[in-house]
Chain A
Amino acid sequence: MIIKIENLVKRYGSLVALDHLNLEVKEGEIFGLLGPNGSGKTTAINCMLALLKYDRGSIRIFGEEMAPDNYRVKSQIGVVMQDVAVFEELNVQDNIDYFCGLYVKDKNKRKELVEEAVRFVGLEEYRKIYPKKLSGGLLRRLNIACGIAHKPRLIFMDEPTVAVDPQSRNKILEGICELNRQGSTIVYTSHYMEEVEQICSRIAIMDHGRCIALGTSEELKNMIKTGETVTIEAVILEEEDLARIRELPHVFDVSYKDGTLTVRCTGARHNLLRILEYLQSRKIPFGRVFSELPTLNDVFLEITGKQLRD
């Protein structure tokens, strides 16, 4: 295990930010921490980085107790903060050189690493540009370059794609996968389930400071009843129709709101067909029809009773 967190408790006054959190991160994986805002993801990261005090529990990284003066562990870590943390007074190249210099003393080696980082995040044309003149997406890329230029063994990325345009987001996600391929273990926090699902090998879903589910994307989806969600728009139904639909095989949840019918079914075949057959038999007209496989949002919804993005 590259990270081992046991019974971590962190309180802000009466608010419990981390509630007996237990996590293990294996070397070589992209470990996703997924949860809504305020679920404790960033607090967990800051505790792991020895920035925050915590009330109980232990954090071991590379087998060592993490502490503010554990420079040996710190030297193997890269951090991409949630808030962009670069010097406004230094240009792109100098910012990367500065942060790389905190880890790498050799000037020539540093020069190579900086060059590599600039190319990695696609900021070749912006070397001499100051952060103020960069767009949000480019700034995020610079933030990442500053965190990974020294090629760390373990990288913490705290919501690196917040407020980023789709092009930059794809570039960033590709970059993260590439870093992982190059050997870095990555702890990635986000409240965008699609991102986490796309890149993470294992995912911990957090809510109210607790890890409520842990596993691969498939494992998490298999934990829940939902196998398929059928949505039908512009349909007018009576209570009797809803009762009949609820009685269809494999259907376990039916909701009807503003002319939109949402039917959640267990993982079985022909769910959509059976629902449409019923509507046709009753000569009920309907609009667009969607059938979706379960998402991490469904996992979160089924476990907590609320949407991930609430």
Chain B
Amino acid sequence: MLQQLKYAFVVKIRNFSIVFWPLLFPLALTTLMYFSVGQMDESDFDTIDTAVVYEEVQDRGNAENAVTAQKSGNDRFLQYLTAVEEDSDLIRVRQMEDEEAVKALEEKEVRGIYYIKGEDLSLTVSENSLSSSILESLLTGYEEGRQTLENVMKYHPEGLDEAVKMLGEYGTAVEYVSLGGNTTDTTAQFFYAMIGMACLYGCFIGFGCALWLQCNLTALAARRCVAPVHRLRVILTEFAAGFGIHFVNVMILLAYMKYILRLEFAGSYLSMVPVAFIGGMFGVAMGIFVGSIGKMGEGIKIGILIGVSMLLSFLAGLMNPQIKVWVDQSIPVLNRINPAAVISDALYCINVFDSPERLGQDMIILTAMCILMVAGAFLIVRRERYDSI
């Protein structure tokens, strides 16, 4: 068995086409995705137009004196907003009169209006959305900061300067966070789906293994079929060799993401290795299974593999993460049996949900499907004779 395994490894490693595509294609696609999706995230973000209305100024009927009013105590909020505006593209602040601001809100020229009336601050928004959440967060953050400063001034006036400085060094104003406390990032979802696809691409290595199992496909397979080696042993040897190579492929992809592209997932890369392990195993098993079914020619089977792997990856959100969400809502069972979605989900569990139970379920599903594929391949080729060779 070891001798057979050794040669199975050597043959596959020296077979350029077997190793080339399952390794290079995901690497190339990841690179393209990195440059397109990553930048898309930045370019597609809309800065939130925000109106600021001084009700005191309006009361005097003279909006032109707003600049003077900024120097008063309640202008600290405007300074805060201006600092946010200058430091990031999160908001764009425009001072307006009440009527003008309301009209702009109705026409969606602005997403919210901050009313400043003495020490009282309020926010008016037209709809519940990401923008309104961000504006509300800014207001809440300011209120909390002001409260803190008042407390510091009251009880530790000597530390006021330091407190002001610390509050000024705000980070990202708003983050989506999961129940597990990790940041959710739509860009990361693409890369989870990409890892899923890379795992599935092991099917091409598996298919190469199957070519040496079916005597109607190659003379070499026919020669091996007449040898006195149990079919299950042949399949397992091929599977082990194919998987060994593919696992290295997936590890190279993860290393590429980590060290070259410097993609940061919330969880550690190390914790993603078991998922890549099982996922890669499934990919190879799927290739062996598809390679073993039916009496179709090599070209047709390769077509099936490409089609199936791309469809599964598409449904898992490779092209658009919303597809996976849609499948989750419409046909949830599909995502539980779609290996690409299960792999993606397992990576999501590690990086976002912090849900060991669900991760365990995903791993069990993948392992079960893997066993089914290998067993299916064995049952098909076990006693198979062919109509023609």
A residues touching B (Cβ–Cβ < 8 Å)? 12, 46, 49-53, 67-69, 71-72, 74-75, 77, 79, 81-87, 89-90, 94, 97-99, 101-103, 107, 146-147
Whether the pair A90, B227 counts as a contact (CB closer than 8 A) is: no
B residues touching A (Cβ–Cβ < 8 Å)? 3-4, 7, 10-11, 14-15, 215, 218-220, 222-231, 382-389
- The distance in angstroms between the C-alpha atoms of A146 and B11, with both chains bound, is 16
Whether the pair A102, B387 counts as a contact (CB closer than 8 A) is: no
Whether the pair A52, B388 counts as a contact (CB closer than 8 A) is: yes
A67 to chain B, nearest CB (A): 7
- The distance in angstroms between the C-alpha atoms of A40 and B14, with both chains bound, is 37
Closest to A71 in B: B228
Q: Chain B residues with Cβ under 8 A from A99's Cβ?
A: 223, 227
| Closest A-B pairs by Cβ, 8 of them | A85-B223, A89-B14, A83-B219, A74-B228, A75-B228, A102-B227, A71-B228, A85-B219
- The distance in angstroms between the C-alpha atoms of A109 and B218, with both chains bound, is 29
- The distance in angstroms between the C-alpha atoms of A296 and B224, with both chains bound, is 34
Q: Chain A residues with Cβ under 8 A from B383's Cβ?
A: 67-69
Whether the pair B11, A51 counts as a contact (CB closer than 8 A) is: no
With beta carbons under 8 angstroms apart, the residue of A68, A71, A85, A94 that contacts B384 is A68
Q: Chain B residues with Cβ under 8 A from A103's Cβ?
A: 227-228
- The distance in angstroms between the C-alpha atoms of A103 and B7, with both chains bound, is 15
Using A12-B388, A87-B11, A90-B7 as known contacts, say yes or no to A68 and B224 having CB atoms under 8 A apart.
no
With beta carbons under 8 angstroms apart, the residue of A51, A87, A101 that contacts B225 is A51
Whether the pair A68, B230 counts as a contact (CB closer than 8 A) is: no
Whether the pair A98, B7 counts as a contact (CB closer than 8 A) is: yes
Using A69-B383, A89-B10, A94-B7 as known contacts, say yes or no to A51 and B219 having CB atoms under 8 A apart.
no
B357 to chain A, nearest CB (A): 43
Q: Chain B residues with Cβ under 8 A from A107's Cβ?
A: 3
Q: Chain B residues with Cβ under 8 A from A89's Cβ?
A: 10-11, 14-15
- The distance in angstroms between the C-alpha atoms of A68 and B380, with both chains bound, is 12
Using A89-B10, A89-B11, A98-B7 as known contacts, say yes or no to A51 and B222 having CB atoms under 8 A apart.
yes
Whether the pair B11, A84 counts as a contact (CB closer than 8 A) is: no
Whether the pair A12, B387 counts as a contact (CB closer than 8 A) is: yes
- The distance in angstroms between the C-alpha atoms of A46 and B221, with both chains bound, is 13
A58 to chain B, nearest CB (A): 14
Whether the pair A71, B224 counts as a contact (CB closer than 8 A) is: no
Using A85-B219, A85-B223, A87-B220 as known contacts, say yes or no to A52 and B386 having CB atoms under 8 A apart.
yes
Whether the pair B3, A101 counts as a contact (CB closer than 8 A) is: yes
- The distance in angstroms between the C-alpha atoms of A97 and B15, with both chains bound, is 19
B385 to chain A, nearest CB (A): 4
Whether the pair A90, B11 counts as a contact (CB closer than 8 A) is: yes
B353 to chain A, nearest CB (A): 44
Closest to B224 in A: A102
Q: Chain B residues with Cβ under 8 A from A52's Cβ?
A: 385-389
Q: Chain B residues with Cβ under 8 A from A74's Cβ?
A: 226-228
Closest to B229 in A: A102
- The distance in angstroms between the C-alpha atoms of A75 and B7, with both chains bound, is 20
Whether the pair B230, A71 counts as a contact (CB closer than 8 A) is: yes
- The distance in angstroms between the C-alpha atoms of A287 and B384, with both chains bound, is 61
Q: Chain A residues with Cβ under 8 A from B10's Cβ?
A: 89-90, 94
Using A81-B223, A89-B11 as known contacts, say yes or no to A53 and B387 having CB atoms under 8 A apart.
yes
Q: Chain B residues with Cβ under 8 A from A81's Cβ?
A: 219, 222-223
- The distance in angstroms between the C-alpha atoms of A262 and B219, with both chains bound, is 43
Enumerate 10 A-B pairs (CB-CB under 8 Å) in ascending A order. Answer: A51-B385, A68-B385, A74-B227, A85-B219, A85-B223, A89-B14, A90-B7, A101-B4, A102-B4, A103-B228
B326 to chain A, nearest CB (A): 45
- The distance in angstroms between the C-alpha atoms of A42 and B284, with both chains bound, is 34
B304 to chain A, nearest CB (A): 24
- The distance in angstroms between the C-alpha atoms of A230 and B273, with both chains bound, is 82
Q: Chain B residues with Cβ under 8 A from A84's Cβ?
A: 219
Whether the pair A50, B228 counts as a contact (CB closer than 8 A) is: no
Whether the pair B220, A46 counts as a contact (CB closer than 8 A) is: no
- The distance in angstroms between the C-alpha atoms of A299 and B226, with both chains bound, is 34
Whether the pair B225, A68 counts as a contact (CB closer than 8 A) is: yes
A127 to chain B, nearest CB (A): 16
Using A52-B386, A101-B3, A101-B4 as known contacts, say yes or no to A85 and B228 having CB atoms under 8 A apart.
no
- The distance in angstroms between the C-alpha atoms of A107 and B6, with both chains bound, is 14
Whether the pair A51, B227 counts as a contact (CB closer than 8 A) is: no
B256 to chain A, nearest CB (A): 26
B209 to chain A, nearest CB (A): 13
